[in-house]
Amino acid sequence: MEALSRPAARHEVDGLGARSMAAIEVRGLRKVYGEVTAVDGIDLTVEQGEVVALLGPNGAGKTTTVEVLEGYRPRDGGTVSVLGHDPGTGGRAFREHIGVVLQDAGFEDSFTPRELLRLHAGYYPHPRPVAEVISLTGLDEKADARVRTLSGGQRRRLDLALGIVGDPDVIFLDEPTTGFDPSARRRAWGLVESLRDLGATILLTTHYLDEAEHLADRVVVIDHGRVVAQGTPDELSAAAGAATVISFRLPTGLEADDLPALGLDRRVAGSVVEVRTETPTADVAELAAWALGRGDELEALTLTRPSLEDVYLDLVGEAGDGEPRNGEFGNGEPGGAAGAAGAAARGRAAS
């Protein structure tokens, strides 16, 4: 992954004033499409230089939220500030400082990526060099091909290229790596990390939990138009009460009943024991002391932390229907789950 060539130089933004102001501040955001309440009172703060991932099942309201923040959709309630501007009325001064990667941006497909990037760069006061952006997004081979000849993943790279060519302060990435092959994905991650290192604020939506875990300082889980949990992946695990699992093989000749009392509960499958615990350090120490005292080696001893995927599925339910998988994790902070919003077909016409 090539490094970005230009030094960090965030721009002064009209109206932003004190640099301590959050880059994005949303309070009580609401958006209704006819009968469907797509966004039902979302509060969201993204600090300058922070990378935040919006997660949630299909139809949760992520894209609608991001489109309101980008100024592409009017809202029905709440207050929104992006770099000190109301996106609905920010105009050019606002647009010059944001970069947008939409889910399905339409291209004029008789142009080439280089032509489109040059055109787009012209809208910004301090664009990145087009050749650099082409190289960063891995479009070198296709830079002068007609867009209509690009594959789906290559078009997505062009989306990304168009989103960063203006060297924006705030970048909105709506499912930025959907359709990427694994190496293109890694490259895109590297690019996002470089942009963050240069001080950009990034709000991304994704369905790839490993992507959120890898890139985001903080994740915000949305369901039925509401925030059901937010925090770092570690904080989410803690808030959800997700336990760590200690797993090992029972020493030959022993039964599970021979073990010391450990953890919240334990499961035995054949000779493998799994202990769920909220105090892994103490329990591992006790288990190790017990085994050492007997002169036993605990084979296949592992400690597994709950992944973001485990926590996410507990929050939104495996069916993505807003029903938690079990009773424990339903009340993520803040807000609690569930309003009513169908996951019907969606269009992109502003309404």
CB atoms within 10 A of CB 198: 15
Shortest Å, Cβ 137 to ligand ATP: 22
Write the CB contacts of 327 (distance below 8 Å, at least 6 apart in sequence). none
Shortest Å, Cβ 229 to ligand ATP: 15
Nearer to ligand ATP, 63 or 277 (CB): 63
Shortest Å, Cβ 104 to ligand ATP: 10
Nearest-angstrom CA–CA distance, 163 and 87 = 17
Helices 308-316 and 233-240, axial angle in degrees (round to 10): 50
Shortest Å, Cβ 33 to ligand ATP: 3
What pairs with residue 81 in β-bridges?
25
Sign of CA dihedral 232, 38, 177, 204: negative
Shortest Å, Cβ 341 to ligand ATP: 5
Nearer to ligand ATP, 103 or 154 (CB): 103
Nearer to ligand ATP, 26 or 298 (CB): 26
Write the CB contacts of 152 (distance below 8 Å, at least 6 apart in sequence). 179
Nearer to ligand ATP, 269 or 344 (CB): 344
CB atoms within 10 A of CB 17: 10
Whether residue 334 has a cis bond before it, omega within 30° of 0: yes
Q: Residues interacting with ligand ATP, by CB under 6 A? A: 33, 36, 38, 56, 58-64, 341-344, 346-347, 349, 351
Shortest Å, Cβ 163 to ligand ATP: 17
Q: What count of Cα atoms within 13 Å lies in the side-chain half-sphere of residue 128?
A: 30
Nearer to ligand ATP, 96 or 223 (CB): 223
Nearer to ligand ATP, 103 or 137 (CB): 103
Nearest-angstrom CA–CA distance, 143 and 56 = 34
